[in-house]
């Protein structure tokens, strides 16, 4: 049996997560709306045989939003362009279930899967910013548990629509004039709690049959949904122990749902800082630290709490008691932060900096970073990683220095195993449910 290898995704995030990264002397200040930047980053990741490029998204801004949030590309449009400038790398788009119709999403992702030759993935998010409702003609932002009920039904409808046409439905017979075989076209006829969708979808089954589902649930509802539905799960763990506990929990949940836990990939998001030697590591680490001011860190900390304004609290007093604040937004992360502040008795300043400043756990020379990744991978905390960077050349350093080290250890692939994102994860194409039913009925 071939050795298990790490899976990698590149989170390509324009001018960066925080408020200060765009000011780095080498940063492209317009990166979030610069196609050339995204093409270059995706090509770097592809040269290193990464499984996928990942584009995050949200749908509400205000004047304190980070520079990337204020002015960025819509993910599916961007990924369609990247499909034409890459050949193997998967293309994972964030699309919310709370402010879209399943028909639209099914059609867009099937189109991306066809355009890219089978490389599409969907990061299913529920949207945590309540202001989003004001942009979508909604009276209120749905509460957290309702958002996950919407998510379950939305994904079920999308996946049903993806099977509207059996694989060989389009006969396109110029002699007979038969464009499609009507027996191989299926109407969904869905009527549920939130959606009423008749179908069929107006696009054929795509190369992957079912584009891959990515999720990042942290809360109880989120974990339940992810373990049941996702092919790959993102998380942002604080420590190895957090990642390990999450990994074990999600694999157990997958088993309880009758799934093969090895077909569910757990991918922590990390921000490695790499240097060729100790001096360069320290120089790059300090550059990254300088990009995060305390003012910006406070605003960043507010995000999982529905953009709460922490500047009203004393910086060096204990982290304030926020009651249930955060329960209806990025609940899992908000709970995690409250717990961390309580367990370690942190002040507001300490928690804010801890949340935003670069960490040391994946900072080092190529061999040191590879050691850390290998430890997580071999000790039940990760099946791979999402690489995100604070410095503008962070992905280049990682792919050019760390990936060869991992390849030499047999832990990272040297070539793509096939053409599709499913091939990269070793997942087969699921049969069309209607074809399967017909085959089973025929056999019986």
Ligand X SMILES: Cc1cc2nc3c(=O)[nH]c(=O)nc-3n(C[C@H](O)[C@H](O)[C@H](O)COP(=O)(O)O)c2cc1C
Binding site for ligand X (CB under 6 A): 56-58, 94, 125-128, 216-219, 222, 234-236, 269, 330-333, 386
- Nearest CA to 161 out of 112, 123, 209, 194 is that of 209
In sign, the C-alpha dihedral spanning 329, 213, 36, 114 is negative
Q: Say if residues 320 and 313 touch (Cβ distance below 8 Å).
A: yes
Q: Distances in Å between the alpha carbon of 191 and those of 101, 188, 196, 303?
A: 13, 9, 4, 35
Question: Of 281 and 340, which CB lies nearer to ligand X in the complex structure?
Answer: 340
CA atoms of 330 and 321, how far apart (whole Å): 17
Tell me which residue has its CB nearest to ligand X. Answer: 222
**Closest CB 81 distance from ligand X, rounded Å:** 19
Q: Say if residues 295 and 353 touch (Cβ distance below 8 Å).
A: no
SS3 213: strand
**Closest CB 233 distance from ligand X, rounded Å:** 9
CA atoms of 122 and 119, how far apart (whole Å): 10
> 324-335 burial, b for 16+ CB within 10 Å, e for fewer?
ebbbbbbbbbbb
Identify the helix (H) or strand (E) that includes residue 387: strand 384-387
Question: Of 128 and 398, which CB lies nearer to ligand X in the complex structure?
Answer: 128
Q: Which two tokens stand for residue 357?
A: 């400043």
**Closest CB 330 distance from ligand X, rounded Å:** 5
**Closest CB 96 distance from ligand X, rounded Å:** 6
CA atoms of 365 and 384, how far apart (whole Å): 19
Peptide bond into 377 cis (omega under 30): no
Q: Say if residues 93 and 112 touch (Cβ distance below 8 Å).
A: yes
Question: Of 86 and 98, which CB lies nearer to ligand X in the complex structure?
Answer: 98
Question: Of 69 and 165, which CB lies nearer to ligand X in the complex structure?
Answer: 69
Question: Of 119 and 271, which CB lies nearer to ligand X in the complex structure?
Answer: 271
Q: Say if residues 396 and 284 touch (Cβ distance below 8 Å).
A: no
Question: Of 124 and 391, which CB lies nearer to ligand X in the complex structure?
Answer: 124
As a whole number of Å, the CA-based R_g of the chain is 22
> Facing residues of 93 across strands?
55, 122
Question: Of 78 and 125, which CB lies nearer to ligand X in the complex structure?
Answer: 125
Question: Of 217 and 366, which CB lies nearer to ligand X in the complex structure?
Answer: 217
Question: Of 58 and 407, which CB lies nearer to ligand X in the complex structure?
Answer: 58
Q: Say if residues 401 and 366 touch (Cβ distance below 8 Å).
A: yes
**Closest CB 274 distance from ligand X, rounded Å:** 20
**Closest CB 134 distance from ligand X, rounded Å:** 16
Question: How many Cβ atoms are within 10 Å of 273's Cβ, its own excluded?
Answer: 27
Identify the helix (H) or strand (E) that includes residue 396: helix 394-397
Q: Maximum CA pair distance of the chain?
A: 80
Question: Of 86 and 219, which CB lies nearer to ligand X in the complex structure?
Answer: 219
């Amino acid at each position: 049996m071939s050795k298990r290898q790490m899976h990698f995704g590149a989170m390509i995030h324009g001018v960066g997560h925080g408020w200060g990264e765009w000011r780095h002397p080498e940063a492209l200040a317009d990166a979030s709306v610069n196609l050339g930047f995204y093409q270059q980053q995706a090509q770097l990741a592809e040269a290193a045989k990464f499984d996928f490029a990942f584009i995050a998204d949200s749908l509400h801004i205000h004047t304190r939003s980070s520079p990337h949030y204020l002015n960025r590309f819509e993910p599916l449009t961007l990924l369609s362009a990247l499909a034409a400038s890459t050949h193997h790398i998967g293309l994972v788009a964030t699309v919310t279930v709370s402010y879209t119709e399943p028909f639209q999403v099914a059609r867009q992702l099937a189109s991306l899967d066809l355009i890219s030759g089978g490389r599409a993935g969907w990061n299913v998010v529920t949207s945590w910013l309540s202001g989003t409702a004001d942009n979508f003609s909604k009276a209120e932002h749905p509460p957290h548990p309702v958002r996950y009920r919407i998510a379950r039904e939305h994904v079920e409808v999308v996946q049903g629509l993806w099977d509207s046409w059996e694989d060989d439905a389009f006969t396109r017979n110029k002699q007979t004039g038969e464009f499609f075989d009507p027996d191989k076209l299926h109407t969904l006829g869905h009527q549920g709690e939130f959606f009423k969708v008749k179908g069929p979808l107006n696009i054929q089954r795509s190369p992957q049959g079912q584009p891959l589902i990515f999720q990042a649930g942290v809360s109880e509802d989120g974990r339940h949904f992810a373990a049941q539905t996702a092919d790959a799960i993102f998380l942002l763990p604080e420590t190895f122990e957090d990642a390990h506990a999450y990994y074990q929990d999600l694999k157990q949940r997958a088993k309880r749902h009758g799934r093969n836990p090895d077909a569910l990939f757990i991918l922590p998001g990390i921000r490695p800082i790499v240097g060729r030697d100790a001096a360069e590591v320290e120089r790059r680490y300090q550059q990254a630290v300088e990009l995060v001011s305390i003012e910006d860190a406070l605003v960043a900390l507010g995000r999982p709490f529905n953009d709460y304004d922490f500047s009203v609290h004393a910086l060096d007093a204990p982290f304030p008691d926020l009651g249930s604040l955060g329960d209806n937004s990025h609940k899992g992360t908000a709970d995690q932060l409250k717990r961390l502040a309580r367990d370690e008795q942190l002040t507001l300043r300490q928690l804010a900096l801890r949340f935003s400043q670069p960490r040391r756990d994946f900072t080092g020379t190529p061999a040191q970073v590879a050691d850390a990744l290998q430890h997580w991978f071999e000790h039940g905390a990760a099946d791979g990683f999402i690489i995100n960077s604070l410095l503008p050349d962070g992905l280049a350093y990682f792919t050019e220095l760390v990936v060869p080290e991992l390849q030499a250890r047999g832990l990272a692939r040297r070539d793509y195993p096939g053409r599709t994102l499913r091939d990269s994860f070793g997942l087969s194409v699921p049969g069309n449910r209607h074809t399967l039913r017909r085959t089973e009925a025929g056999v019986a």
